[in-house]
Chains A and B, each alone.
Chain A
Amino acid sequence: MTEVVRRVRVRCGLSRSSPRPWGVALPPVAFVALFILYPLALVLQQSCGYADVFTSEGFRHALWTTVWLALASTVGCLALGFALALVIAFVPFPGAKAVARFIDVYLSFPSFLITLALLFIYGTTGIVGSFQFLTTPWGVLLAEVTYFTPFVMRPLLAAFSQLDTAQLEAASSLGARAPRIVRRIVLPEALPALAAGGSLVLVLSLNEFGIVLFTGAKGVTTLPMLVYSKAILESDYPGACVVAVVNVLVSVGLYGLYRVVSRRAGA
């Protein structure tokens, strides 16, 4: 295999010893630098010297709200996604395939669509009545769990379809009931998929904007909302840049932490 790779590299002039690799690598590197790194650097530069944003009450509140909402959404999605994926994969019912396919489609929906639907049900003029909770962080949490759960289910369903049913049958014939089989056989096998889905949800919900905007949650200000209001409503671009940089750092930091933890857990 590696021999094949080496030969292809040599033939294409990509060998390590070849003098030409830079000629091939330069265009994509230049593209990345020009269109991604340069704007990021500008944001970083703009944010320098505006440390007073950190001391404001609004910023600290937004930071806290962002982090706990993202963590809670991730936990909620993992729990709900695992339960739903278990049912779809292992409980034979008519239409299980159709449900699994619908999840693929669901992933392509825009996030505000779910929020809009929730407004119709729970909103002030909704079907169920005027629960006020949609405008609270709990409403945002509900919407995020609803929207992001399929992102966990997708990798889980793929993992479950790979699971050897003979293992489940062996466990069953050895005297294990369903809860023990799920806990001792299915869950350990699903850990990598849970890690993949969970990290995706964590990053997406940290940076979620549409759902928070659409719930009209005045009391819920997350970092992306803060960036938006500072930049667009208050024209405070340096302030917005500071918050944006913090948002990026929190995203990368939490994601890194999550990977370390899930790797420790054997995923």
Chain B
Amino acid sequence: MNSGIRFDSVTVAYDGNVVLDALDLTVEPGEVMALLGPSGSGKTTALRAVAGFVRPVSGRVFLGGRDVTDLPPYRRGVGMVVQQYALFPHMRVEENVAFGLKAQKVAKGEIRGRVAQALDMTGMAAYARRHPRELSGGQQQRVAIARALAIRPGVLLLDEPLSALDARLRSGMLAELARLHRELPDVSILYVTHDQVEALTLADRIAVMDSARLRAYGTPRELYRSPSDEFTASFVGNANLLPVTVGEEGVFFGGRRIKVSGQAPGAADTLCVRPHLVGLGDGPNQLEGRVSEVQWRGATHRLYVDVDGHRVMADVRELKDPPSHGDAVTLHFAPDDAVLLAAGGSHD
């Protein structure tokens, strides 16, 4: 099985415009790697380089240890699922799923069984005789996944697979994808998304991309708990990013001394605190400010508090008597929950 992906300094450029800059990244066999980033960050280009639709100007792409850089897409044997499903409209569901098997000259007797198996796996067996236009978006995406899995790929490429679905369907499909991966533990999955929830939920590791470059990578927990730079902090989860000065005497934010447990990475100038770790009322690391906005989100209240001209977000459990605009409030956060970020890592 040709599982596992390795990017070896892969650079992709169109007309001298670098869209992927020397990407080094390894996806282990059986691992789910999320490529997370805003549009234009190069994440889709990286995926297309694995599929063989873009040719790197330098660097090599390996699939299961084999150099596939010069192979055409049809000889790479990767499964691919894209945002708009790309089902063949004039073929029935079963013909769509059988397409790859026929193209790969699988024995006729075997095709029927493998199509049924792939459709079973995605819960679409009852729709085998339908045409794509007779299916809902979620069902079409299941067929697209079945079609990709039918060829038994070692690597599955998912390019924003849930972006065209509505929110409720999306969380259901996320669970489905996680279940599929448990059933196919040897398949490596490269999951391109701009949605942090999808990445945090599904991925074993996340690679954060920005401006054609890899910014950071690690387990979701690592990236969330101790992000390395501002971009990662604000893209993986929500973040309060406060400008601080770090000196011999400690960490200061607008004249207040802030207690931080972790070590400062060299010259740090930004403090990152997750909004849900900011509490209302007295405590360590107190910040006084005025409420600029209150949002009720059912289980929580999101408070936007103006502290010396800086906006601090606090997600607190639903308040019986929430403050209103202009009220003076006190916020606090534990020294353990704050992370100092390196200077110069800002995204601008």
Contacts and interface: CB of A to CB of B under 8 A. Distances in A.
B94 to A, nearest CB: 14
Contact of A171 (B52, B53, B103): B103
A173 B52 contact: yes
A45 interface: no
B252 interface: no
Given A173-B73, A173-B74, A177-B74, A166 B99 contact: no
A171 B88 contact: yes
Contacts of B86: 164, 166-167, 169-170
Interface of B: 51-53, 72-80, 82, 84, 86-90, 99-100, 103-104, 144, 147-148, 151, 157
A170 B82 contact: yes
Looking at chain A, what size class is its interface with the partner chain? 10 to 19
A173 B80 contact: yes
A173 B51 contact: yes
Interface in A142-199: 164, 166-167, 169-177, 180, 184-185, 188-189
A169 B53 contact: yes
A164 B74 contact: no
A173 B76 contact: yes
Given A175-B103, A176-B99, A169 B80 contact: yes
Given A169-B51, A169-B53, A176 B74 contact: yes
Contacts of B79: 173
A265 to B, nearest CB: 12
Nearest to A174: B100
A252 to B, nearest CB: 30
Contacts of A166: 82, 84, 86
A174 B148 CA distance: 7
B103 to A, nearest CB: 4
Contacts of A174: 74, 99-100, 103-104, 147-148, 151
5 contacts: A169-B82, A172-B73, A173-B79, A173-B80, A173-B157
A182 to B, nearest CB: 13
A97 to B, nearest CB: 16
Interface of A: 164, 166-167, 169-177, 180, 184-185, 188-189, 266
Given A169-B73, A170-B80, A170-B82, A175 B151 contact: yes
Contacts, number: 66
- B80, B84, B104: most-surrounded residue (chain A CB, <10 A): B80
A170 B51 CA distance: 10
Nearest to B75: A175
A120 B38 CA distance: 60
What does DSSP make chain A's interface, helix, strand, loop or mixed? Answer: helix
Contact of B103 (A164, A169, A176, A189): A176
Given A171-B99, A172-B73, A176-B99, 4 more contacts: A167-B86, A169-B80, A175-B75, A175-B103
A50 B103 CA distance: 61
A170 B99 CA distance: 10
A188 to B, nearest CB: 4
Nearest to A189: B90
Nearest to A188: B90
A164 B89 CA distance: 10
A174 B52 CA distance: 12
Contacts of B103: 171, 174-177, 180
Contact of A175 (B82, B84, B89, B100): B100
B101 to A, nearest CB: 8
Contacts of A173: 51-52, 73-74, 76, 78-80, 157
A174 B78 CA distance: 7
- B53, B84, B86, B104: most-surrounded residue (chain A CB, <10 A): B86
Contacts of A177: 74, 103
Nearest to B53: A169
- A174, A180, A189: most-surrounded residue (chain B CB, <10 A): A174
A114 to B, nearest CB: 35
Contacts of A188: 90
Nearest to B99: A174
Contacts of A266: 90
Contacts of A171: 88, 99, 103
Nearest to B86: A166
A184 B99 contact: yes
A175 B101 CA distance: 8
A55 to B, nearest CB: 49
A52 B76 CA distance: 70
A254 B74 CA distance: 42
- B51, B77, B103, B157: most-surrounded residue (chain A CB, <10 A): B103
B152 to A, nearest CB: 11
